[in-house]
Amino acid sequence: MKSMKAILILMSLTLFTPFAAAQMPLMISQPPPDDSSRTKQAELLRLARIETSVRIHGRLAETRMTMTFANPTGRNLAGDLYFPLPEGAMLSGYALDVNGVMVDGVVVEKDRARQVFEKEVRKGIDPGLVEWVKGNNFKTRVFPIPPHGSRTVMVRYLSELVDEHGMPTYLLPLHFSRIVDEFRLRVEVVKGKTMPVVTSGGLPGLSFGAWAEGYVAETILRDMSPARNLTIAIPGPERSRVALERATDGNTYFFIHDLPRILPAGSTVAPVRVGVLWDASASRSETGHERELEALARFFTRFPQSVVEVDLTLFSNECEKTRRFTIRNGDAGQLLDHLKQVFYDGGTRMGAISPSDRPQLPDYYLLFSDGISNFGAEEPARLPRPLYVFSDDSRANHPFLRYLAMKSGGEYFNLAAIDPAVAASGVGVPAFSFISADYDGTTVTDVTPALPHPVHGGFSVSGRLVGRRGSITLNYGMAGKIMQRVEYRLDAAEAMPGELVALNWGMKRLEELLMLPKRNQAEITSMGKRFGLVTPGTSLLVLESLDQYVEHRVEPPASLSEMRRQYRELIDRRGNEEQARKEERLQHVLSLWQKRVAWWEQEFSYPPGFRYLEQMKKSGMNDERERQTFAPAVTLAAPSPPPAAEPPRQAEMASRDGQPARKAKRNDTSGGDRELDATHQAQATIHITPWDPDTPYLKRLKSATPDARIALYRQLRSSYGGSPAFFLDCADFFLHEGERATALRILSNIAELELENPSLLRILAHRLEQMELLDLAASLFEEVLTMRPEEPQSHRDLALVLSRRAESSAMRSHENVVADYRRSMDLLNHVVMTRWDRFDEIELIALTELNNIIPKAKKAGIGKITVDPRLVRPLEMDVRIVLTWDMDMTDLDLWVTEPSGEKCYYGHNLTTIGGAISRDITNGYGPEEYVLRKGMGGNYTIEANYYGSTAPQLAGTATLQAEVFTNYGRPNEERRAITLRLTQKRETVSIGEVTFESD
């Protein structure tokens, strides 16, 4: 009886699950931002085996898909499995094979889970991670996939059946483009009353038979590629149901499946004007739009006797100019033909959508989009007319699209679940909807959904019963007017033990919270941890050993009961042994800073016309020897000679004319409250070497006539569109040709290449900063910080762009300028005062930058600076050069050759004239910094060298950013920046030169 009660709970679940041709799971070797196409990357890993098990409980289905991926290469690979889920589905389980045993994932906060995963990957150990990315898309990260070996991944998700032709129907998307060695499928309908029916996509050998009070179907196929959606219908009449369960958390949850009497819609008046908003961003090029176009065509056929004006606006990163179409006799052919020719290009900025600038507003707006915004503001301005939203993309951000429609009084139509004709008939018509629920909050609480919701068939509601008895009334109607009420009585005595109703409530609550994920971030994370679900705030993590679980304070899964017992004993014994050591950290930073100040105050002596005698060349040593033969980089305090060379004597440094050696003169200033030093302002010029990569697509663009370039770019994109380098290079080309808007649209494509890839977003944001698009750059750096708070570079990048925005914002309010300066200082101070697992002495670079901002912030009116006063000492300099790059576990080196011929680099980190290089960052990202307080006259040559990579993924190009400053920290400070690429180990590229006038 208990089992039957649980089944009744689930038989009444109803939501609209997408029936689109969803992308199937795809494992690819982790794609770096390189020049190879993503298709080639995907082909590196073979899908050797798929075992799919489906259990259907009433109207809820649990799908478990176990996939084995084979690595045909001779090296370890890190794999990313991309897994789009239907609307309303939730990922509830994940496992990875560890030493031949499938180990379940543990729910952990998303940021913390990623930090643990990446730390273990750097150790060469094999963790697993599954995390939510934008829309309803999930990414599973696996390392390592051994050479000529395989790894097995299991994902489990819950979804709800939908009504198709009057029957609850289950969908299994099967769109595999390549041959699978072995495919196993088992579908079980638990406690089914009638024989299930395969309505489409039947597979050889798949037929249902009676089994254990239900029905089951099984098949095994080999060397084939399942390419059609499998749909299974459960015949039988539906009726309203109430179910209650007492969960292990002590709460009593209820579920109501209601079948309201759908009232017919009233007559509608033909619109005079309609605004069509069509998402033309690059991500929309991957799917067809037949169902969207069909819905649009059917909408206009409703008005065969009318003339309807249509204002069409295409948008991607920006809105294009609105174009007017006139629809007569319901014929939208001209409009549809135009939409079929749309070239999809650019990132997505939903915030670009705004009310029509035409004198007369439309009667309503029709929006066609996936709702995944990745290039600036996400939420559009409020539209003064109802917004009806359509999408046929399984990866769409369904909660956000529904929110946009609901807040304007419109409706969202998921065309993967609703027939286009039905959707078209609902536009402009007051929809029969669930309006509200009435209940006594002392007995019933946490009812979801809480917002109005269109009803096209059955409707379900969940909540918690906190009293012994209670009641709830569901209110239905149209246009906000209640026309129908249905009351249900609830009794806690009828609740049976179980978790299914609680899980369903959690899924429904999350669906509503996800409409505004940033605003509801804390509750989303809490719900994910509570129910073991993957959400934007929680991930599932697999570790290998007890030591790993203890080190990272992650409790092992319940399936490893003995390991969990040992874990709890160890944690209890450890107690509070790990305590914060803020004072120790401060003393460490103070020591580093005192040495930096000592370098700045040091007087470096050299003769006029000094030329460096490089002893290394005489001894046959060169820069190409193995790195470990060099002395380690030292903290800067005094001049250090190059390895294997005697300190140059004063006589050896004398010039040919016998002039005595001289000291670099200083204009000493001290104290944190000083004004920016203007007494020494070196006369210098910066020359940045133009980045002109030798690529076939640029050669063709350069040879094309101006009026043929756009068409040629579109043609080239079909071949090179998987590469970030292609968009960087083409954007630079069009920018150089004066076509700034085109350049920006092309550049914004980088945001579309992969969901939530911080490396790509960093590249994009740096390039936008170089274009002086500081608002956009700041918004992308904010996203990177959200994705990678464990990396100091994320805080530093955002801090510096905010500071630049504050400094250049003459048109912004004083409050905004102050806010930018304050946030910038807080972020840099966080970098300085935090102990990072990697990137030793990055705090010294951040502290130099922080001290450059403090005087500007004070000048803007910020009185209280929350930085330890012992660390406040602005250091002005003749030259400062900073190198950063986009790849983790990759080593790039900054080289600066001074006018004397002396090279400053990791192996020779302090030169005769006082040029200093920062600590060598060998494990990714940078920054590396060259500083020189007082320069000698002549040219300073700046280069970058790609030393190599230890990354587990196939390494491609490294995209680097270089900033060159002269008169740093002075009123006449000058800054130049460049983005370029290195493609091979030991490759060296020229960044540019700084030239100082001779004294």
Residue 603 CB contacts under 8 Å (≥ 6 apart), including other chains: 663, 664, 666
CA distance 454 to 463: 19
Cα–Cα distance list, 511 to 400, 449, 450, 520, 693 (Å): 10, 9, 11, 11, 47
Phi then psi for residue 230, to 5 deg, are -100, 120
- On whether the CB atoms of residues 54 and 186 are closer than 8 A, the answer is yes
- Of 298, 265, 243, which Cα lies nearest the Cα of 423? 298
Cα 385 to the center of its chain, rounded Å: 32
Cα 635 to the center of its chain, rounded Å: 36
Residue 760 CB contacts under 8 Å (≥ 6 apart), including other chains: 33, 724, 750, 751, 753, 754, 886
E strand or H helix at 568, and its extent? helix 561-574
CA distance 138 to 94: 11
Q: What is the b/e burial string over 636-658, where b = at least 16 CB atoms within 10 angstroms of the residue's CB?
A: beebbebeebeebeeeebbeeee
Structure tokens at 185: 């499928």
Residue 315 CB contacts under 8 Å (≥ 6 apart), including other chains: 277, 278, 279, 280, 281, 349, 352, 353
Cβ–Cβ contacts within 10 Å for residue 119, how many? 17
What is residue 434's predicted lDDT score, i.e. its pLDDT?
92
Instruction: Please report the DSSP string for 22-88 in residue order.
Output: PPPPEEEE---SSSS-HHHHHTTSEEEEEEEEEEEETTEEEEEEEEEEE--SSS-EEEEEEEE--TT
Predicted TM-score (pTM) of this structure: 0.71
Please name the residue ranges forming H helices in 71-201: 110-122
Domains of the chain in start order, with CATH, are 24-238 (2.60.40.3680), 256-262+432-531 (no CATH), 273-426 (3.40.50.410), 545-574 (no CATH), 606-693+876-999 (no CATH)
Low-confidence ranges of the chain (pLDDT < 70): 1-44, 126, 135, 175-177, 237-240, 266-267, 357, 575-581, 614-682, 809-812, 949-956, 983-986, 998-999
Cβ–Cβ contacts within 10 Å for residue 984, how many? 10
Report angle CA 874, 880, 881 to the nearest 5 degrees: 140
Place of tokens 């270089």: 962
Structure tokens at 472: 């709830």
Residue 801 CB contacts under 8 Å (≥ 6 apart), including other chains: 765, 769, 774, 777, 778, 781
| DSSP character at residue 260 | -
CA distance 543 to 104: 9
Place of tokens 């032709």: 165
Cβ–Cβ contacts within 10 Å for residue 461, how many? 21
pLDDT digits (tens, 9 = 90+) for 805-860: 999 865 567 788 999 999 999 999 999 999 887 888 999 999 999 999 999 999 99
Residue 122 CB contacts under 8 Å (≥ 6 apart), including other chains: 838, 889, 923
Rg (CA), the chain: 32
What is residue 240's predicted lDDT score, i.e. its pLDDT?
62
Phi then psi for residue 654, to 5 deg, are -70, 145
